[in-house]
Amino acid sequence: MNFARSVWKILVAIKDGLVLLLLLLFFWALYALLTLRPTPGMVHEGALYLPLDGPVVEERTRLDPTSLLFSQDRPHREYQTRDLVRAIEGAAGDERIKAVVLDLQDFGGGSQVALSRIGAAMDKVRSAKKPVLVRAVLYTDDSVQLAAHASEAWVDPVGGVAVMGPGGTQLYYKALLDRLQVKAHIFKVGTYKSAVEPFMRGDASPEAKDALRAVYSALWEDWQADVKKARPKADLVPVTTDPVKWLAASGGDAAQAAVKAGLVDRIGDKVAFGRRVAEIVGADPAGSDGAFRATKLGAYLADRPEPTGGKAIAVVTVAGNIVDGDAGPGAAGGDRIADLIDEAATRGNYAALVVRVDSPGGSVLAAERIRAAIERMKQRKVPVVVSMGSLAASGGYWVSTPADRIFAEPATITGSIGVFAVIPSFEDALAKLGVTTDGVRTTPLSGQPDILGGLTPQAEAVTQNEVENIYGRFVGLVAKSRGKTPAQVDAIAQGRIWDGGTARQLGLVDQFGGIEDALAYAAKLAKVEAWHPVWLGAARDPFQSLLEQMAGTNADESQARAHDIAALVSRRQLALADRLAADLGRLMGGEGAQAYCLECAGLSAPDRGTAAAREGWLIALARLAR
């Protein structure tokens, strides 16, 4: 009896402790919510300080509380391109801001299109006779593109520059599948639709290589042109043709080599850089050595709200993989985006609709739902303009077809007009283990597709017919949109990807321009002179803001990361694991017909992380409790 009472007291104590813990967490969360969110009036005279410790994206990912609990990795901070551009351009005419400072030590990268927009905003600050200072330890292609637009680019004494250019390798699984005796049933239309090649070949087809070679060449030329225009004295030839000889000429000192090549201006650590900024904007008396007076992005944006005058133009963002359901932001959930457009149409108070696309495509069904919603908006006599970001391929082009006009950038990747489906089956692998299948069918399609017993010829024929029918619909939509015949579209479709310049010549896009140009054109079509954009679904959720604060990068942890070439290799090993997981998911995910551009997905914004099997916080806590 005494033992039972003791156990009961322990249980009550545990219950009371958990209740107290939950109350403490609640009040701490409430305090954090009220104090950590930026508010107007927090802008200080000094620098606009942008420590970009994450990737630049078109649309910030919505954090899932459950995923945070079970994911080992702290989620990256993400910076929306339009937020950075608005802040930097605002600093150009703001008397309180004496300089713009970018710290790229932990930069997560961004697409060429996004970085070009940010670079143009930096140029506006310099045109206003204000300095723009940038620092990093190791500059790679993305950070070099931004640093080119700086008035002073600093590199750490133990850092340097590594320009790699676009390109790389893709994984191919045909030999592995053969060894495992797994059949990958491929259904596709398009000579260049290489998204399925990893499951049917051991290497890239000549057609796929030709398409990629052309696109990579265009991207590489555009990148070099951007850097050279911003920094005419930069010498990219030795850096990109013989990096070993280039480094040897400076005695192996990568930082000195970067200065000699004109890619950076000065060498110094973070403290020296901070002292230089303090000379311009003033030192922070409450900070340590190298601290300077500054305002960060959140506070600055809160102090400078977006304009609200004139007629509203709705902007909907289709960013990330197009998937079925309500996924996103961060992924383009077909139902979620279609609902946003339908709600905007029902309100009837928008002068026009601009669709911002930055997606490699995905589910045909989800893409069609988005396209149909855009078409319904257009039927209400609302002008529709598409603005393509870094990537608007396959399903990303599908949703673009209702547009009255399509804007793209020279570095935009588009096209990939093709369809595929992959269904694995394991009858040979099971037979090797002594497992066989048998049964009774009432029709040739009974029990199909049967991934254990195999697909019947009739099931394969029906699936291929479905894929061909969807491709025909895709081509028809493009033909109607672009004023071409289906045969003309088919000749430039076949799953091939195109750079923005070539796509313009082929008539897949109408003109070059960014989101600002698309908005201005939409206002022109709507015949309104005063207008402002309204980003559908972009209202900030206070709970999301709290999660971002709680899950954001820890400063000490950030400073502890390595930033040399070896660290770059380590990060790419993690990216390789994510790619393997994504490819396995694509093979085994049971997805329907896909209008997806696998070969160009890596040409957009950096991967936000897809690994699903890493140890989570709760598991780590359980280990500690053992």
**Positions marked catalytic:** 193, 394
Rounded to an integer, what distance in angstroms lies between the CA atom of residue 397 and that of residue 596?
10
Cα distances (angstroms) measured from residue 250 to each of 148, 517, 563: 21, 45, 21
| Beta carbons within 10 angstroms of residue 312's beta carbon | 17
Rounded to an integer, what distance in angstroms lies between the CA atom of residue 351 and that of residue 287?
49
Find tokens 């694509």 and name the residue. Answer: 586
Long-range contacts for 472-477 (Cβ within 8 Å, ≥24 apart)?
474/398, 474/417, 474/418, 474/419, 474/595, 475/417, 477/371, 477/398, 477/401
Structure tokens at 507: 């008539």
If we measure between CA atoms, which residue out of 403, 307, 390 comes closest to residue 353? 403
DSSP assignment of 162-199: ----S-------HHHHHHHT-EEEEEEE-TT-GGGHHH
Give kind and range of the element (H or E) at residue 576. helix 565-588
What does DSSP say about strands 132-139 and 183-189: parallel, antiparallel, or unpaired? unpaired
If we measure between CA atoms, which residue out of 537, 279, 280, 502 comes closest to residue 409? 502
How many whole angstroms from its chain centre is CA 354? Answer: 19
168: left (phi over 0), alpha (psi -120 to 50) or beta: left
If we measure between CA atoms, which residue out of 32, 26, 28 comes closest to residue 545? 32
Give kind and range of the element (H or E) at residue 9. helix 2-36
Handedness of CA 597, 613, 587, 328 (dihedral sign): negative
The amino acid at residue 67 is S
Q: Assess contact for 511 and 291: CB atoms under 8 A.
A: no
- The tally of CA atoms less than 13 A away on the side-chain side of residue 575 is 14
Find tokens 């937020």 and name the residue. Answer: 83
| Beta carbons within 10 angstroms of residue 530's beta carbon | 9
If we measure between CA atoms, which residue out of 484, 495, 422, 457 comes closest to residue 200? 422
Structure tokens at 569: 């290799």
Residues contacting 369, CB < 8 A, separation 6+: 334, 335, 337, 338
Rounded to an integer, what distance in angstroms lies between the CA atom of residue 460 and that of residue 451?
12
Rounded to an integer, what distance in angstroms lies between the CA atom of residue 612 and that of residue 477?
36
